[in-house]
A and B are shown apart, each in its own frame.
Chain A
């Protein structure tokens, strides 16, 4: 019995010692893979813009959460609305784990077969997925003579001019479909190059209503809203798995569109405009922005970056940094959720795709 105890004690001491030693032995795969390496962060949009700013917020810190602490270098490759960088990532980027892409994901563009896409979202190696706060419908308060005070007033509005970028933009589809669903007549004015130009057009009165990102709304339009010249009418909610709207934490001063519709029409939205809108919301709900690596990237490298990304997103410092630079914090989406949706891209009902295409075509000038 004593001998047996001695044996157990010895085994225990050896096991403890081995465990202790293990703590000090660097993991050759993890620590060495990125030691003294540089990870290039590829961005498909112009330097200094919103995407670039967001990318730098995350990727500048990511290196601290990766064993070996690689240097992170941001490089921009703007062109073709971001497709150029994604085409590069898909076909030409190195697969040794030294290249990471970050930017907005537009799964719907792939579904409708937009010209210039030579990649397949399903094949990339996702590293992280996030959701920015939802987009917002805003307008001038003078669109009705008594002053626009609440979303109910939208039904009284006459002579609406909805400013947009292009009929195939997800933001424009959200704007058009909402007004069509509510049965409010409007004129669709396209061609504005980005959120700043749209905000300016509404401010100057060339247009009087538009949809914009929350960042644009909360920074550039904050003062006209405060002065009562403009108003945020509703936001476009993300949808949960049962297609119900998810309350946005960042937006507390306006309702979501589905709530608006139900209150004004007393039923759930339906029809082609709703199908188009739902498709946009559905895909935006699983990710608005992602960090991805080229297809077939070294598995060990993808794992390391995924873990690093997840750890970084839970840290307090990244939240503080987001608040300071972006003015809001993003939501992390579990990669499994995003990945499931991505893998089901081919299974989307062709009728829904045709409906969306037809809806986009209807928005184009004749």
Chain B
């Protein structure tokens, strides 16, 4: 075994394997940093190149790329508040506030350090615990997966930012959204409005990008500020070295979260999707001082980043050794394995053990190399937080909408991102927490699927007595106990609104005048969803009904709570109109509406001229009209954006573009020598 272990290392360092590994690392940095891409797209991109390669080089390149995406995805999460990939969604909760405080370099330093640690830890732990993996996987059947889903939802309390009532209601909304499309029990589409787009589940990427990215981008646009609220010359501390020290100071937290990541990562269909949220929930619950979570607590960056890198190694070994892919990405890796003529199974742990270890080493080396590379670059990366917001907005909009488009190459992806952008904006302004929605959306379909199978395979509720289910129930109980303690604990002296705004830019932004209409709409949505569900057979309607009934009750309570807040606000300002004018002015609602108008115009124009022209046009119009930049800068920026669309998204990713009106008649009049892909 030791011989194979070191032979694996030797194989990776041989030429050309090491060259391909480095190529994979560089590709992975790029793929991870761009919102909406991520490891799966990277694997799809590189897979065809591996057909003619020998196995060690092929896997060095694939794993080099795949392993580092959950390190480089931290850049967008911390710098822009936009999740680079699904694995770094939880990182934005504290990473972005740190960047707003001018401490982006610190957050990046801590994130890169624990990412490298998590990746290496995951690979090592898996390598030494190989004999345990198959029994673990086989003992987690549908009932256990369902209960793990419930455990994930129990974290809602920690993700609700102090408003558990609204957090739970939002979680119900997330579950309701997860039921869109064909039901698990029968081929009956739910809430699909007879649209092809809604026949599948709502795609995650457009929802996440809309919910989190668009409100943050709009913030930059309507307030015309840089990401950091504090000028570069006034920042105190917050350097990369401090971040590395933070990582070492919290070594025990990093180990715990990396262990979560490793072992949760091996569970097929569940692990990688929620591990960052579980890690975040864990750090909030296990911390004595929770006051800074959501406002820029470095532990909120360390926990998810240590966990999400550890899942990569965790998911790989069962794929290779038992042919059990833990995620879509590992399913692609399994395909790569078969393409190489290697079969998953005991041979990979005996005859080909050196190749298996070369994969483990590829992950380890890639994690270390990327951490060093990104740390060298982090000082430069951190400067983005001091760049004027108007210069960032068009670029981020390009990545957000193209990232959403990657979900399914459908107009629906853009509309989903846009609608979720409005929802995200309203939630942010009215104190409705957004993370529970994402967590429930991820878990909803997994839970419904697991529950349906559990009740069929284990006769009704017989599965509730399985030993691992009981253990998870106990953990859920403890989790809820911790959550309820924080709810009922006497509130400490509230910071003044001014104080909060100074540090995080939040605080006054939460208004009951916006929350009340939002609560009412949400309540009506739950009621409508309940009656709509009545037309379906029992197994099809059970799960949505189980979400909308508590959702409606909780929202009703929120309406009462918000109505009190509105009355208070009216009392403070004399009358409703004055209160509304005040909040509208403070929150720059008018400018926000205009910004959404810009986005809507972009979507409508896309139908006419297509994405390759509309996005550059948006860049020009935004920079000149809104940002007041010169034509030269606007045109130069737009050409850069267009080149990115044509070279990267078209010629490298081979995307399907929207068939615009222009695309239907332009080819017939365009001279032969002009390639169509430059324009349509």
Q: Is the CB of A161 within 8 A of B457?
A: yes
- Closest beta carbon of chain B to A181's beta carbon, Å: 22
The residues in B between 624 and 654 inclusive whose CB is less than 8 angstroms from any CB of A are: 654
Kindly supply a per-residue 1/0 record for chain B positions 501-541, scoring 1 wherever the CB is within 8 Å of any chain A CB and 0 otherwise. 00000000000000000000000000000000000011100
**A190 contacts B185, CB within 8 Å?**
yes
- Once the chains bind, are A365 and B539 in contact (CB under 8 Å)? yes
Specify the chain B residue showing the minimal Cβ separation from A321.
B51
A284 interface contact, C-beta 8 A: no
The answer, yes or no, to whether B163 is at the interface (CB within 8 Å) is: no
Interface size on A, residues (CB 8 A): 58
Q: In whole angstroms, what is the CA distance A203 to B139 when docked?
A: 10
Docked CA distance A196–B335 (Å): 12
Stretch at the interface among A70-78, A134-142, A307-315: A70-78
CB of A53 within 8 A of CB of B339, answer: yes
Question: Across the two chains, which residue of chain A brings its CB closest to B663?
Answer: A94
List A contacts of B324 (CB < 8 A).
Answer: 196, 200, 220
Known: A219-B323, A219-B338. A49 touches B344 (CB 8 A): no
Residues 38-74 of chain A, each 1 if its beta carbon lies under 8 Å from chain B, else 0: 0010000011111011001000100000000000011
Select B137's contact among A192, A200, A327, beta carbons within 8 Å: A200
Q: Report the stretch among A9-17, A79-87, A330-338 that lies at the interface.
A: A79-87
- Report the Cα distance A323→B199, complex, angstroms: 36
Closest to A324 in B: B341
- Once A and B bind, how many residue pairs between them come within 8 Å at the CB atom? 147
Q: Are B457 and A87 in contact (CB under 8 A)?
A: no
A3 / chain B contacts, CB cutoff of 8 Å: none
Q: Is the CB of A49 within 8 A of B338?
A: no
Interface residues of B, count at CB 8 A = 52
Q: Is the CB of A191 within 8 A of B44?
A: no
**B 2-30 binary contact with A (CB < 8 Å = 1; else 0):** 00000000000000000000000000000
Q: Taking the complex as formed, is A303 at the interface, i.e. its CB lies under 8 A from any CB of chain B?
A: no
User: Which A residues touch B656, using CB under 8 A?
Assistant: 75, 77
In the complex, the answer to whether B196 meets A87 with C-beta atoms within 8 Å is: yes
Instruction: A338 to B206: give the CA distance in the assembly, Å.
Output: 40
| Residues in B neighbouring A92, C-beta threshold 8 A | 659
Min C-beta distance of B467 to chain A, whole Å? 14
Answer yes or no: A364 CB below 8 A from chain B CBs: yes
How long is the Cα–Cα vector from A77 to B453 in the complex, in angstroms? 29
- Shortest CB-to-CB span from B517 to chain A, Å, is 34
Instruction: Decide if B200 is an interface residue (CB 8 Å cutoff).
Output: yes
Q: Is B43 an interface residue (CB 8 A)?
A: yes
Which listed residue (A56, A79, A191) contacts B408, Cβ 8 A?
A79
In the assembled complex, A358 has its CB within 8 A of some CB on chain B = no
CB within 8 A of B196: which of A47, A83, A191, A201? A83
Using Cβ atoms and an 8 Å threshold, which residues of chain B touch A150? none
A228 at the interface (CB under 8 A from B): no
Given A189-B457, A219-B323, A220-B323, are A56 and B48 neighbors across the interface (CB < 8 Å)? yes
Docked-complex contact A196 and B331, CB < 8 angstroms: yes
Q: Which residues of B contact A199 (CB under 8 A)?
A: 323
The residue that A366 contacts in the complex, of B141, B335, B537, with Cβ under 8 A, is B537
Residue of A56, A192, A223 touching B345 (CB-CB under 8 A) = A223
Assess the B457–A207 pair: CB atoms within 8 A.
yes
Contacts of A80 in B (CB 8 A): 196, 199-200
Query: Chain B residue with minimal CB distance to A200?
Result: B324
How distant is the Cα of A165 from the Cα of B7 in the complex, in angstroms? 42
Chain A residues near B196: list those with CB within 8 A: 79-80, 83-84, 87, 116, 118
Q: Which of A115, A203, A325, A326 meets B189, CB within 8 Å?
A: A115
Check if B291 is an interface residue, CB within 8 A of chain A. no
Q: Are A46 and B328 in contact (CB under 8 A)?
A: yes
Q: How far is the CB of B430 from chain A (nearest CB, A)?
A: 34
Candidates A161, A190, A192, A327; contact of B338 at CB < 8 Å: A327
In the assembled complex, the Cα of A325 lies from the Cα of B58 at a distance in Å of 14
Measured in the bound complex, the distance between the Cα atoms of B51 and A52 in whole Å is 13
Contact call A115/B187, Cβ cutoff below 8 A: yes
Which residue of the partner chain A has the closest CB to B186? A364
B396 at the interface (CB under 8 A from A): no
Listed in ascending order, the chain B residues whose CB lies under 8 Å from chain A are: 40, 43-44, 47-48, 51, 137-139, 141-142, 184-187, 189, 196-197, 199-200, 268-269, 323-325, 328, 331-332, 335-336, 338-339, 341, 343-346, 408-410, 449, 452-453, 456-457, 537-539, 654-656, 659
With A75-B655, A79-B410, A166-B186 already in contact, 14 other A-B pairs whose C-beta atoms are closer than 8 Å: A48-B44, A49-B331, A53-B338, A53-B339, A77-B409, A116-B189, A188-B456, A190-B452, A190-B453, A191-B449, A219-B323, A219-B344, A220-B324, A364-B186
Top 7 A-B pairs, shortest CB-CB distance: A48-B332, A47-B44, A220-B323, A204-B138, A223-B345, A365-B539, A206-B141
Q: What would 20 A/B residue contacts be, using CB atoms closer than 8 Å?
A: A47-B44, A48-B43, A48-B44, A48-B47, A60-B48, A75-B656, A77-B408, A77-B656, A84-B408, A187-B457, A188-B456, A189-B456, A200-B268, A204-B137, A206-B453, A223-B345, A223-B346, A325-B338, A327-B343, A365-B537
